[in-house]
Amino acid sequence: MLVHPNFDPIALSLGPLKIHWYGLTYLLAFGLFFLLALRRARQPWYAATGWTRREIEDMLFWGVLGTILGGRLGYVLFYKLSEYLANPLDIFAVWKGGMSFHGGMLGVILALILYARRRGRPWLDVTDFVAPCVPTGIAAVRLGNFINGELWGRAADPSLPWAMVFPQAGDGLARHPSQLYQAGLEGLLLFVLLWIYARKQRPIGQVSGAFLFGYGVFRFIAEFFRQPDSHLGLLALGMSMGQWLCVPMIAAGVLLWVWAGRRAR
């Protein structure tokens, strides 16, 4: 069995200022998004509609706000509502952790709606532009989860070559390194598939639908190996909260993809 290295969550200390690895992985996520978005802007159908570096910088600002605010509020609403209602000031204690991807996605959707209105662009055109640039950021943040030794996996067969003991779990069990599974599935694999799919001009809305469907499916699969939140456990039908949140995401992805194709015809 492997043992999690139990990294120091603080990457660098400069006097009273402490820079956490988790924060650096978010910076890496936003940096990768920016570089990939610049490449997307050079594709003929986007270059023809005037996507510029300045627009991408503006969109990234809105996206960062949507990610942080939506991710935090999503965690509060989906995972620990009663706890935060009892201690509402803890909602602002983001340094203690607690972010939800599904909440962050909703926050980004709202931010992109506002951005699209300001720029006079069709909203789905903006989300199609953004979608292939997102998965590498997801992979980066999942690596941050692994470095922190959080969101570990369910118990695994100790003979599994990559089974890992997470000291933070406090039980000495061999577990799946589910953070790395998620980085590989929701991050790298989804990025490769979406990037290839989006190299050709698609009907407006189809790239966004493919992202919703692909992320939902890969996250649903990864949840079978991820330890459910201790205060929630498994919910109806033996599914985790993460899986239940993926169900409407998968359905929305299919409906959007089909609708976009029919609308184009």
Binding-site residues, please?
142
Q: What is the 3-state secondary structure (H, E, C) of the chain?
A: CEECCCCCCEEEEECCEEEEHHHHHHHHHHHHHHHHHHHHHCCHHHHCCCCCHHHHHHHHHHHHHHHHHHHHHHHHHHCCHHHHHHCHHHHHCHHHCCCCHHHHHHHHHHHHHHHHHHHCCCHHHHHHHHHHHCHHHHHHHHHHHHHHCCCCECECCCCCCCCEECHHHCCCCEECCHHHHHHHHHHHHHHHHHHHHCCCCCCCCHHHHHHHHHHHHHHHHHCCCECCCCCCCCCHHHCCHHHHHHHHHHHHHHHHHHHHHHHHC
